Structure 1
Amino acid sequence: MRRVDVQWRKSSFSEDSDGNCVEVALCDDDVLIRESDEPGAIVTTTSERLRTFLVGIRAGAVGHSS
């Protein structure tokens, strides 16, 4: 991924937090995700993979073990 200035967006649910929030940005075809108190640690994924992950969370398929 090439280095460019990206515009980070903070979740509206994070507005009232103590400065801890998740931020996302788009860069070409990638979705960048970081935590505001660790801005140098960036997770990169695609829109499709992020969508699949979020659908799994909503369905209860992520974070539960038997």
Structure 2
Amino acid sequence: MSQTEWQKSTYSGDRDDCVELCRRNDRIAIRESDAPRVIVNASRTQLQALLAHARADARWQKSSFSTDAVECIELAACEPRILTRESDAPRTVISTSPAPARALIARAKAGRLDRERAAR
């Protein structure tokens, strides 16, 4: 498949909010049809791991800083990855390894993210 031969996900409907895939040498490029310039490249193994995590029946834990409202961050351990999502958009999941997740949580607890944002 060439760089211009994007395949639409079989789960996508007729609207423009779908995931598209394209083979690029030994990598698989992934993008959303409504944001075609943002492309994630993954190996076959990485894509399989991502899909396994996305399908996993993870135990989601709400952030202790969240209220009872629906706008909160949720985390789940799905060995060896850490999954993150917003409660109001549960189908959008970010997968990372434990070290970057710990670093992000430490920065947030220390209030360093707020200061960086204010400095911009």
Q: Give 4+ residue runs of structure 1 displaced > 4 Å after superposition.
A: none
CA displacement, residues 5-61 of structure 1 (integer Å, 9 cap, x when unaligned): 111011232134x2210000010110000000000111111111112233445373x
Q: Report the counterpart of residue 31 of structure 1 in structure 2.
A: 82
TM-score in terms of structure 1 length: 0.73
Report the TM-score, using the length of structure 2 for normalisation: 0.45
Q: Does 1:6 align with 2:50?
A: no
- Any gaps of 5 or more consecutive residues in structure 2? 1-48
Which position in structure 1 is the counterpart of 2:73? Answer: 22
Counterpart among 89, 92, 96 of residue 41 in structure 1? 92
Pick the structure with greater CA Rg: 2
Counterpart for residue 51 of structure 1 = 102
Aligned counterpart, 2:28:
none
How much identity, in percent, do the aligned residues show?
33
* Paired letter, 1:48: A
What secondary structure, in the 3-state scheme, does the structure 1 residue paired with 2:74 have? strand
Q: Distance in 1 between matches of 2:99 and 2:62?
A: 20
Count how many residue pairs are aligned between Structure 1 and Structure 2.
64
Say which SS state the counterpart of residue 13 (structure 1) adopts.
coil
